[in-house]
Amino acid sequence: MKDVIIIGAGPCGLSAAMECQRQGLSSLIIEKNFIVHSIYLYPTSMQFFSTTSLLEIGDVPFTSPNDKPYRHEALVYYRRAAEQHGLEIAAYEEALSVERLEDGSFAVHTITKRGEQLTHAASNVVISTGYFDQPNMIGIPGEELPKVTHYFGEAHPYTGMKVTVIGGSNSAVDAALELMRVGASVDMVYRGASISQNIKPWVRPIFESMVAKEKITLHLESRVTEITPGSVIVTKSNGETLELDNDFVLALTGFRPSRTLLSSAGAIMDDEQDKPAYNPSTMETNIPGLYVAGVIASGRNANEVFIETGRGHGKLIADHIISKRLT
């Protein structure tokens, strides 16, 4: 039996395992995909908002020629950090449920990519799953069409195409700029009166310049209300509708964490915020020995928790587990 099973091998899950290791607790990370899968899903040319020092875990230095590193640098860093700490990671193994046993320990039921069903025992469980598996659906006709995606990897496949980007966050702005650079015709549709105030400060003036030069067509206070094979229907706040000729739609409307594992273990959820109830000083839920770390601790707004804040959850958890042993 492990002292701790951590579900999710993102930066916050890795950090939790390193903290447990530092305090002499045995741990196993269960990951249904592969290490830092969420970062792998970022656009290939994405640059982080945070500096390297704010992304470091386990006292492993993150060196980069850039003050704010890029996606590919982060993938290398987190692989190296996990290897340096010798973390035990069960990759391509999905946790299906977490069962609390009568003696207070846990059974984590999983399935491997080969279809093997396994059960792992642990005294404590940390749920540190990410949020890229569940995009925020718009709920409009045509959203299920194959030309619609909630993920953006790189612009090259859209060269010369008419693309509608839905959203006004960093991901939407970055995608619109990359699409423009490969010769796509870009319409960006956002319900707000202006794009997000959190746009990277070094990106905002470039984006605004491209809109002013009509390289990108920005539709504010507008919503896509229907998608057809050859067009999108945009409805403005004043009720006016537009039909835009369209080849592809990038619905970059954000993601939300899955609560299934927490619910299977009996954790209380805040229905209004879709957020687990937990003690912020220990990260323990209402179920003794069941903890949350990283973005899973956030509410409907997944941006409440970033790597730079979530990486500290592991120390709170490890400290609490040790303290319980001493009492």
Report the pLDDT averaged over residues 244-255.
Answer: 94
Report the pLDDT averaged over residues 231-256.
Answer: 94
Residues 6+ apart with CB under 8 A from 157: none
pLDDT tier for residue 303 given thresholds of 50, 70 and 90: low
pLDDT tier for residue 172 given thresholds of 50, 70 and 90: very high
Q: Is residue 141 part of a domain?
A: no
| Shared-domain flag, residues 119 and 159 | no
Choosing from 220, 251, 282, the residue where a domain stops is 251
Separation of alpha carbons 282 and 131, rounded Å: 22
Extract the tokens encoding 165: 């980007």
Extract the tokens encoding 246: 């369209």
Separation of alpha carbons 37 and 3, rounded Å: 25
| Shared-domain flag, residues 55 and 103 | yes
Q: Is residue 44 part of a domain?
A: yes
Tell me how far apart the terminal alpha carbons of the chain are, to the nearest angstrom. 21
Q: Is 298 exposed, middle or buried (0-12, 13-18, 19+ CB in 10 A)?
A: buried
Separation of alpha carbons 292 and 13, rounded Å: 10
| Shared-domain flag, residues 20 and 129 | yes
Which pLDDT score, from 0 to 100, does residue 276 have? 87
Mark residue 44 as left, alpha or beta (left: phi above 0; alpha: psi -120 to 50; beta: remaining).
alpha
Extract the tokens encoding 321: 């587990």
| Shared-domain flag, residues 240 and 217 | yes
Choosing from 225, 251, 277, the residue where a domain stops is 251
pLDDT tier for residue 272 given thresholds of 50, 70 and 90: low
Which pLDDT score, from 0 to 100, does residue 200 have? 85
| Shared-domain flag, residues 124 and 178 | no
Separation of alpha carbons 317 and 20, rounded Å: 8
| Shared-domain flag, residues 7 and 122 | yes
Q: Is residue 320 part of a domain?
A: yes
| Shared-domain flag, residues 271 and 318 | yes
pTM score above 0.75: yes
Among the ranges given (40-49, 63-72, 78-87, 316-325), the one the predictor scored with the smallest mean pLDDT: 40-49
Mark residue 167 as left, alpha or beta (left: phi above 0; alpha: psi -120 to 50; beta: remaining).
left
**For residue 305, pLDDT beyond 70:** no
Report the pLDDT averaged over residues 221-228.
Answer: 97
| Shared-domain flag, residues 247 and 259 | no
Residue 285's CATH number: 3.50.50.60
Give the tens place of pLDDT for each residue, 53-103. 999 999 999 999 988 999 999 999 999 999 999 999 999 999 999 999 999
Choosing from 251, 275, 292, the residue where a domain stops is 251
The boundaries of the domain holding residue 197 are 148-251
The structural domain count of the chain equals 2
